[in-house]
Structure formats: structure tokens, C-alpha cells
Structure 1
Amino acid sequence: MSGTSQVDAAWVRERWPVPEAGDDKYSRGVVGVVAGSDAYPGAAALVVSAAVRAGAGMVRYVGPRRAQDLVLGHRPECVVHDPGDAAESLPRAQAWVVGPGVADHPEQDAAIGAVMAAGVPMVVDAGALEAVARARASGSREAPADRVLLTPHAEELMRTLGALRHDVTVHDVAADRAGHARLLAETARATVLLKGSQTVIASPGGSLVELPPAPPWLATAGSGDVLAGIAGALLAAGMTAIEAAGCASWVHARTAVEAQRSGPVAALDLAGALPVAVARMLTSDG
């Protein structure tokens, strides 16, 4: 993919993974999640719920006990792991989601480091953005650029670029969203999904994907955690980072359309609406 691409239902439908008769939970994609904390356990439940509802064959969660309990309360099919154990022996997964809701937790930080060292595809959000971007900018790139997806909003993009010695303001980012997403993609050698009402996705080399304007209902706490979980499921199914970002962003927006039929939308509503949004996309002629 080169130049600028637009995402629509046909673009997503052409790429969306659909299980076949010979598939099992492993071939459909195992997603590992390092997210949440004692302070923000909800982020873990949202990421895991979204990955499950987006079609992951299996989800493994790595985090503190309080978050583990909440994850299992929402998704009992998830397999949980102690972060200290995961740091020493990383559970097998085709892709990882790292960073949403993490706080100061040395063992979780070590688990994120183990994911980076393993060179597996990963979605990087929130608390892991700066560390991963710095490591990749300095040459630690075990995973190729087309398998690493950074998912900042505008302020996180500003802070991450600042950590890479590019001093910009939120106003600078707003004035040139595509340009700053490309700057981070080139510097960190990773694909960048810049979240917002007008989502843009940039990869090293200049490729750009643009999304239609997102429904305002998506402006709610935890919405980005749901997006990260969807993207993780798609990376685990074998998509490239730019494909996973485009498909996840488009379906994420459609979940808001589905969920808002019942009124104001909360993040967990988005995860719950995923199966309907995906089914409509797969069966639509548009």
C-alpha cells in the first residue's frame, strides 16, 4: 500500500478474517494483553472484551490480581497470567496489546519489555507509547515496522514526539495531523494510528490511510482501550499493522453507530456492539 488510501466497508470486508472449517482457537489468533493496573483495572477488561468480541480465538491477560479478577468477571474464557511469571517466560501469542491503563508496576514493565524482545506483532497504547517509541528510535526493532502499531491520541502523540526530541504542541498536531503521525512513524519505525474525530494512519515510507469522520459518541472514557483490543485481534489473525489499524478504526466507528441506537454510549457498550457491527459489515453490499 502506498500513497493515501480511504477506508470504507468494502476495504474492511476484503481484509476481515473469517474462520474456516479447519480453524481452531490457535489458528484464529491468540492475543496477549498487558494492560490495566490496581489504579485502572477497567482498561484491562475493556481491551480483553474487545479482543474477544472482535473474533480472537483466545486472549491471555497479564496484570495485577485486581485487574485479573475484573477481566475474569467480564470474560471468563480469558486466561490470566501473573506479570512476574510472564516477564520470565512470555506466554505464547500471535500478537500483544500493551500499555492501556498501566501504572507503575515493575513486573508489568518487564512483561512489556519481554514482548518487545520477542519481536512479535504488537499494539502499543497509552502508558507504553514513550518507552516503546524510544527503544525503536534507538535501534531496538525486533518486530518489523509493519507489525507494530502505535495508537496515540493528540496529547499522547505530542508527549511521545517530545520523548524523541521533537518538541511540538497539541496545536501543532491539530494543524497537521497527518504530518505529525508520519513524523512519529518515521522516527519510531512503526505504524501510527492517530486517534480523533478524523483518524489518520501513517507508516514509515509515507503511506497514509484516512478514515471517515468518527461518530462523536466515541468521545468517551475507555473508547481507545476498545480500539486497541480490536486491533490486537486483527494483528493476531495475521494482518499488517496498517490493515489492522484501518479495519479496527472503521469497525470501532460502526460499533458506536450500533450502540447509540439505545442512547448514550459507554466503552463497554462498544465492545458489546462489535459482533453486530462486524456481521453487518460482512453481509453488506455497500
Structure 2
Amino acid sequence: MRERWPVPTESDDKYSRGVVGVVAGSDAYPGAAALVTSGAVRSGAGMVRYVGPRRAQDLVLSLRPECVVHDPGDAAESLPRAQAWVVGPGVADYPEQDAAIGAVMASGAPMVVDAGGLEAVARSRASGSRETAADRVLLTPHAEELMRTLQALRHDVTVMDIAADRAGHARLLAETARATVLLKGARTIVASPGGLLIELPEAPAWLATAGAGDVLAGIAGTLLAAGLTAADAGAGAAWIHARAAERAGAGGPVAALDIASALPACIAFLLARD
């Protein structure tokens, strides 16, 4: 992973390092916006643009004043420029954000898709609307989200089915939606159309905590914006996410924002390894 991790050079600026766009959070779940943007910033994005409602904008700026915020209605009309997007975390019943996610899909930009964006993006791609190549789209469900997304694609599956064959069902979604799938869990699996399968080492069980997946999505967005494929971005994000949880929790409980805060030291350690 060290060889693939993006490292800025003296000729880089904030734009060439990778701009990450984020459509996440809502009035009901503003924390998702703060966690995704924190994951992106702390993992090395050159710049982060946040699209969402005012309450979430205020929380993002209170924690990450370096972010640039945009109204979702404006973004739907004229999408801000970004090298990759993270869409879906914490999005709930907010039509303007749905429109912004639609604009991201139509743009053909690389994207990480989580939570509230999964079913819409998967259905669109399964129906043939694939403006973005399969190796530049990363879907990041946990088991229940995978079940619901496959059911939306008319596959009759249960959570127990997925538990019995996690890799097989991740591959099923990858092939049906023509996208790379990162199935979250104690052992994260990354599956791409065509058969590529990556199984990550076991992560700390303390990572089963609210908001951890939002931080993961932000990290993956940073790597995708830097030019990595969806498979490499997913695997790299999952690996460093687990290491940051180990460092932040020191063997004990960990909170999502603590994971984001531990990322710079973990990345520095990764890059210093022989």
C-alpha cells in the first residue's frame, strides 16, 4: 500500500493533490457530513467541497474550517469541480441533496457511494446508466445495506444469506451494478466486476461504532480523487482506517472522530516503513 499512497511533491497545489466533493448529512444527521469531511481532510485531500443543508454546513465549518461549503440547490444546477465525490452518508428525505447526487452521477466523476445513495446509484447503473467507469465507482455497504441494495435490484436475499457467503454477494452487486463494492465488516471485502477480490485483515471489533463508516468513505474519496482505482482506494482506505482505529483506541473503545484524528500519524508511519 505504501507504494500506492499519494504523496504530494513540491510542484503540487491543493487542486492537483485532489479535490473531494461531499454530498452527505442532513438536518436529521448533520454529524455524517462532519465525519466524511474530516476523514477526507485528515487523509490528505488537497481540498474538500461540502454540499448540504445549512445546519450540516455550520457543523462542518465548526470542525473543518478549511472546507468550502455549497448549497445543494446551487450544486444541482452547477456542480462544483472535484476529482471525486462521496455521496450518500446521512442523507435523509432532502430532495435538493437527491438532485445534487443525481448531478454527480450524470457528471461521470469518480465517486464513493454509501448509505442513502446506494440503492439509487446501483439501480441507475444496473439499468445501463453508467457515466462513470466501473473501476472508478466504489459502493460501500455494510451487510444490511447490501441486502437492501440487492433487493432493490430484484435479488431475493437475506442478511443470513449474505453472512453465509459475503464474498459471493459482494461480487453479485459488483457485477449487477458494474461497480466496485467494499463490503464492510470485521473482514472487509473489496470486489470488482470481472472477479477481482481483496480480503482485508481482520479489523478491531471496536470499529463497529456509529460514524466509523462515514470516516472510511471520506478516506476512500481522498484516494479516488488522487487517481487510484476504486479497488485500490477501497482497500487502502479500509487498511489505514483499521490502523487509525488501533492507534486511537489503544486496544479499547474508539469514537469515529478519533479515527479521523489518528490518520495523519498512521499515514506517516506507513510512508516511513521500509
Task: Give runs of aligned pairs for residues 231-242 of structure 1, distance below 5 A.
Answer: 231-242=220-231
Tell me the residue number matched to 1:259: 248
1:52 corresponds, among 31, 41, 60, to 41
Task: Give runs of aligned pairs for residues 110-149 of structure 1, distance below 5 A.
Answer: 110-149=99-138
| Closer/same/farther in 2, CA of residues 174 and 99 from structure 1, 3 Å limit | same
TM-score (norm 2): 0.99
SS in 2 for 1:36: coil
Count of residue pairs brought into register by the alignment: 274
Tell me, yes or no, if the aligned pair for 2:37 and 2:50 is still in contact at 8 Å: yes
Give unmatched runs, 5+ long, in structure 1: 1-11
Kindly state the Cα deviation for residue 261 of structure 1 after the two structures are TM-superposed. 2.2
Tell me the residue number matched to 1:215: 204
2:270 corresponds, among 269, 273, 281, to 281
Kindly state the Cα deviation for residue 263 of structure 1 after the two structures are TM-superposed. 4.3
Kindly state the Cα deviation for residue 69 of structure 1 after the two structures are TM-superposed. 0.1
Kindly state the Cα deviation for residue 174 of structure 1 after the two structures are TM-superposed. 0.5
1:166 corresponds, among 133, 155, 161, to 155
Tell me the residue number matched to 2:88: 99
- 1:216-257: CA deviation from partner (whole Å, max 9, x where unpaired): 111100000000000000000000000000100000000011
- 1:47-72: CA deviation from partner (whole Å, max 9, x where unpaired): 00010000000000000000000000
Q: Percent identity?
A: 81
- 1:11-33: CA deviation from partner (whole Å, max 9, x where unpaired): x1010000001000000000000
Q: CA RMSD in A?
A: 0.7
| Closer/same/farther in 2, CA of residues 262 and 66 from structure 1, 3 Å limit | farther
| Closer/same/farther in 2, CA of residues 22 and 278 from structure 1, 3 Å limit | same
Task: Give runs of aligned pairs for residues 149-164 of structure 1, distance below 5 A.
Answer: 149-164=138-153
Tell me the residue number matched to 2:21: 32
| More relative contact order, 1 or 2 (CA 8 Å, 6+ apart) | 1
1:189 corresponds, among 166, 169, 178, to 178
SS in 2 for 1:232: helix
Whole-angstrom CA distance in 2 between matches of 1:150 and 1:232 = 11
Matched, 1:19 2:8: yes
SS in 1 for 2:61: helix
Matched, 1:244 2:233: yes
**Amino acid of the residue matched to residue 69 of structure 1?**
D
**Amino acid of the residue matched to residue 44 of structure 1?**
A
Whole-angstrom CA distance in 1 between matches of 2:160 and 2:89 = 24
**Amino acid of the residue matched to residue 35 of structure 2?**
L
Whole-angstrom CA distance in 2 between matches of 1:89 and 1:246 = 32
**Amino acid of the residue matched to residue 5 of structure 2?**
W
SS in 1 for 2:22: strand
Tell me the residue number matched to 1:5: none
SS in 1 for 2:198: strand
**Amino acid of the residue matched to residue 65 of structure 2?**
P
Give unmatched runs, 5+ long, in structure 2: none
Tell me the residue number matched to 1:89: 78
**Amino acid of the residue matched to residue 28 of structure 1?**
R
Whole-angstrom CA distance in 2 between matches of 1:198 and 1:174 = 12
- 1:28-49: CA deviation from partner (whole Å, max 9, x where unpaired): 0000000000000000000000
| Closer/same/farther in 2, CA of residues 262 and 187 from structure 1, 3 Å limit | closer
